[in-house]
Structure 1
Amino acid sequence: MVQVSSVYLLSALTIVNWGYSLGICQSGECAADYFVPEISLLPDKDCYSDGDSVDLTCDGHFGGPSTNQCIGGSWTLPTSTCEVFICQRPMGDPALMLSPNESTYTARDLVTYSCMEGYILIGTDQATCDQPGEWNPSTVPDCLVACPTPNVSNGTLSFPGPYQEGDTVIVTCDDGFSRGFGLGSPPITCTEDGWDSEPVCYADCLVPAVDNSDHMSDRELTHEETIEIHCNDGYSYNQGHDFQVQCNDSVITSGTPDVCHLDCDPLSHPINGEVSGNYLHGTTAFYTCDFNSKLNGSTEATCEDGVWSNGAGVYKCYEFTCTVPEISDEELSLEPNKSVYNGSEVIEYSCPDDMMLVGKSNSTCVDQDLWDMTPPTCESVQVSTCTAPTVTDDGLRFEPSKDSYSIGETITYSCDGDLELKGTVSATCEDENQWNPPSLPICSSGHVHRVAILLMSVSVFLPKYFA
């Protein structure tokens, strides 16, 4: 209930014609100021003639007669009252909007209710400040979440909008359409987050009859409905006797054949061999032979509508051997080395350590005296080396001592006896005959060196002594 912040009462109960007494109106006229200022008069003028009637209205709580008449210079009835009051702003849902939007309203003010976007008004859309602090009607409307009208193609809704939170709608799909397999016509509900599900009517699918199966007549499927079709004995589709089809909004996702195809009779096993695979339409069977033997025909056959691609002939696996391959390279060796090799036997080729094998390192006996490749060859390998350093110093030695060195190999220098090594202590072969560092160290006697120093000292001292 809205509270009244202030009320005041203005009334005039006097029956004296003040206007006449003040000399505003002529004799026999009635003055308008007989009524309180809050009352509106119709017609509105300062003085009224004898016999004039006036209608009285009030922007507030009206009391007394609503009309009066001037007779002989006096009003015939007592004056009316007009109680002026205010009403506080109606309090309601946060989404509720008022027009005009004020904090307080005066008597007879009219407000119009509405809701923010996304909400729907529940209740009356207008109210009047009718009594001090009271609105008429007194109940403030609510604003509930509004759900948009669902756009349902190929279907109808149980009742038209607008829709508010809590409303439940039944969606009925047209003939040839459905909400989905086994769903029927499930309702949708308007929640504070919108509709709880998407109302879609999906198109049904027509599955045509399939010859040579248990599905011999057309059938209609609803969206997401799946059926299994069984081919008759001796028939198959897509390499199987059974297959499934599913409807997805008018489209059969797995495809549907017109017919189940005739399977093939089992193939005869070749002599000394086997047949693998099945005999369904569209499948391929494979022939294999025992070790050391080969099939005298195609190694595979495909079944097409009951007919094998190879004519379902009887095959035989025959044994074969190979003689030793002709080898022109004397450096080439093979293992095992014998005069006759069984069918499918493999030989391995090799070369001496200092030579390189050029070609494939093995070969297989694939038919009578037929190897799958010609023998490889052996070629010499050119390896960069360094020759031993040329030493002119009789006392200089290096280890290891040999005629040639491989790339990356290192030698270490040393001197004989009491000789001292001056220079690098080692060198590395980095390229063809290129040592790093290239210069050789030298070997010198430490005793001779000390004598030379002594002689130099004497030669400097004696001249000074005899001077």
Structure 2
Amino acid sequence: MKINFFVLFACFSVGLCQDCVDVLGEHPCSIHSAQGFCIQANIMSVCYKTCNPVICDETPCTGMPTIASNGGNNPSGTTHQAGVSVTYTCDTNYVLDGAESNTCQVNGSWTVDTAPICTLQCQDPLTDPSLSITPDGPYKVGDNITYECVNTSAEEIGDKVSTCMTNGTPYWTLNVLPTCNTSNACGPPPTISSDGINPENRDYATGSTVTYQCNPRRVLAGSMTNLCTDNVWSNPAPICYEECVDHQNCSDNVEFGYCNHPDYMEDNQEYCRKSCGFCTTCSEAPANQNVTVTPTGPYVQGQRVNYTCEYGSIICENSNICLGEDQWFNKSPNCSAGIPFSCDFESDFCNFTDDLSAEFTWTKNRWITPSFQTGPSVDHTLGTIEGYYMYIETSNPRRDSDQARLVSPTLAPTKCQCLRFYYHMFGNTTRTLEAFLKRTSLPNEVIWSLSGNQGDVWLLGSATITSTEPYQVVFEGTSGPSFTGDIAIDDVTITKGPC
């Protein structure tokens, strides 16, 4: 401490520093030199301000940073001391691309490795009150913006993304703004009457999906989602009901609110359910001719039954739930055997056609394909060299990623159908087979896709189809980089009911 007082006294007595500051503790030069502080070598507990430039063990920064044109930096120069920050600015009509500042460090390096540049600023893009733009400006050449409808129920028509380009003068690539179409929007979705959480009560754009949820201790019957398609919601609102809970000893628990109806006594305990205050039952489950219901009734609130048909389950609504008091969630189902579409390619093309806008077409063939180590050797229908199938030949002049599309005839709208087909994808350079729905006013919808070598065998593919308007099934085959990429299909059927 005597030394500390001596240093301060000496500082004042010689008149070199009029405002010496005593800072206790050891502080490195890298922290304090920029403010004029430095540690005296033989008095490590004292850091004092000098009247002359401080000499510390620091390396000045040289060279960078500079902006070559259309802007500048402050302070200027090519050499800067540690702690000095250089700020960059750009001229009018230019935007800074990079860091706004750069600081010289004590080791002679800069905090930012690359100096920014000044690029041409883009003028404000086209706007419309019905559209929002992201991100906000200002914008420079190369920036992208996206337009979105302010009305979330509107469908955006046209290109949504615009890019700022330059040919000497900056310009935006979109000359025509997208429009917001509300003609296909759906009104507020149907709502759960009670005991549930409904979607937001507003209009929705076509293609929007909303979700329903039940309150605690309630069970949802119906679809938990709803799709808006051309002004129409795909499903009615679900129902939230109280599901009665199984109890194993009805006779001992009547006083606690358990059923004491004669049907629920100990000789029939499988129907003993907790009743939420009262006993609710259903007698017969609704079912039309040729429909089998399991299990048999009577039924209690919350009990589920299953429907089957004589030739297998071909019903989309293949189950039902007792809501109590002889009320059921679904109406009577129908068994509707029959095949809306079937094609084995043995006698004709079944009205399949090739999409002539594609790079090449499908080929009807039997026995082996011309290429070695690829394609089937027999069809699937007959399993012999006499049977026919459709395939894509990927030999020359085919190029990698060329596509061929086989299009079915137009089929009627459906709530639930199953597409089944057999495919053969054999070869080391096999690429991709896809099945998608083609419709007039809706975008193509891929319902099945597979890529790569699946072996020298016929395999079954299937996908459930739902469409609110007439549709076509399109099989799209993509060629690989070599001749060992043949893809074949056979035995295409579309049946009623889910897959």
Question: Shared fold by TM > 0.5?
Answer: no
Tell me the TM-score normalized by structure 2.
0.32
Structure with greater strand percent:
1
Tell me the TM-score normalized by structure 1.
0.34
Specify the structure having the higher radius of gyration (Cα). Answer: 1
